[in-house]
Structure 1
Amino acid sequence: MSQSANAYRTVVVGTDGSESSLRAVARAGSIAGATGATLVIACAYLPTEADDRELSRAQDVLRDEAYQVVGSHPAEDTVRTAAERAGAAGAAKVRTVAVQGSPVEALLDVVRREDADLLVVGNRGLNGIKGRLLGSVPADATRRSTCDVLIVHTTG
């Protein structure tokens, strides 16, 4: 059996530009570099034309999980910064995508499209009472993912 049969080929990681999400990006970058995998860095964003009611409703529901990224240009800046962090951590093959939509839907869509075999998420939102009651990006992504999921301990 060749080494490539055991190694990850495509790793997907999501980022919203926060320091905790960039720690997950760095871990994903080191895994991709060590296994020779392609790293796909995804950022979900709300369209800039989303009206204020929609934005405030999203922030009410999500609170600390709220979108930090509104608009495709900020999302592209976010993934560019993340790609630099991943490269510094060892990733050699990096692609970036900005996807309109909710974080979980966007991540799972990228996992499907890229035929990924590993999804890396940070643990932000997993430990709070709201995360346990309402769900969180890492919990929902883990529950619904069709590939392996690595939850990186990115928060204190």
Structure 2
Amino acid sequence: MSENYSKVVVGTDGSKSSLLAVERAAKIAAAFDATLIIGCAYYESKDDASKTLRQDSMTILGDDPARANLEKASEVARAAGCDKIQAEVRSGTPVEALMAMVNDNQADLLVVGNRGINSLTGRLLGSVPADVARQSDCDVMIVHTVS
């Protein structure tokens, strides 16, 4: 593992808190001259979405809203000074999508917001930030986006 980050992954669901995480990840990527990979998870159907007990992320049905979220997030990243941006949509839960992007891109850093981490549901069922921190082989930065 090098001490420099070359690939930084961040997820967005279009929410204000996720865009704060994108902005922080973009600043880090720009500082290291790294590629920022912005991802958005989506569910193929309402049935897929309803199988997930968690409600700590916005439910995105279909890849069109996911692509719209990525466009908005890419604008935020560019405004934060990052010019090496890759956008990816992935079907599945936010955790599955983020882990797939980290592994497929051999990322060195995963940035997530803290939404859901302190809620009762988050403590009982897990939250996206806690779950990715446990599963990830790369560094994970949890950005304080929600108080």
Into which bin does the TM-score normalised by the smaller protein fall? over 0.9
Q: CA RMSD in A?
A: 1.3
Q: 1:94 to 1:130 in 2, by over 3 A?
A: same
Contact 1:46/1:67 (<8 A) preserved: no
C-alpha offsets along residues 50-75 of structure 1, whole Å, 9 cap, x if unaligned? 2x4544443xx113x24431111110
- Aligned-partner Cα distance in 1 for 2:19–2:58: 15
- Aligned-partner Cα distance in 2 for 1:45–1:67: 10
- Aligned-partner Cα distance in 2 for 1:10–1:55: 29
Pairing of 1:7-156 with structure 2 (within 5 A): 7-47=4-44, 50=45, 52-58=46-52, 61-63=53-55, 65-156=56-147
- Aligned-partner Cα distance in 1 for 2:72–2:116: 23
- Provide the aligned length of Structure 1 versus Structure 2: 146
TM-score (norm 1): 0.89
What percent of counterpart residues are identical? Answer: 51
TM-score (norm 2): 0.94
Structure 1 unmatched ranges of 5 or more:
none
Cα drift, residue 27 of structure 1 = 0.1
- Aligned-partner Cα distance in 1 for 2:51–2:38: 27
Cα drift, residue 90 of structure 1 = 1.4
Structure 2 unmatched ranges of 5 or more:
none
Answer 1 or 2: which has greater helix percent.
1
Amino acid at match of 1:41: I
Q: Which runs of 4+ in 1 moved over 2 A?
A: 52-58
Cα drift, residue 13 of structure 1 = 0.1
Task: Determine which structure has more spread, i.e. the larger CA radius of gyration.
Answer: 1
- Aligned-partner Cα distance in 1 for 2:94–2:71: 18
SS in 1 for 2:81: coil
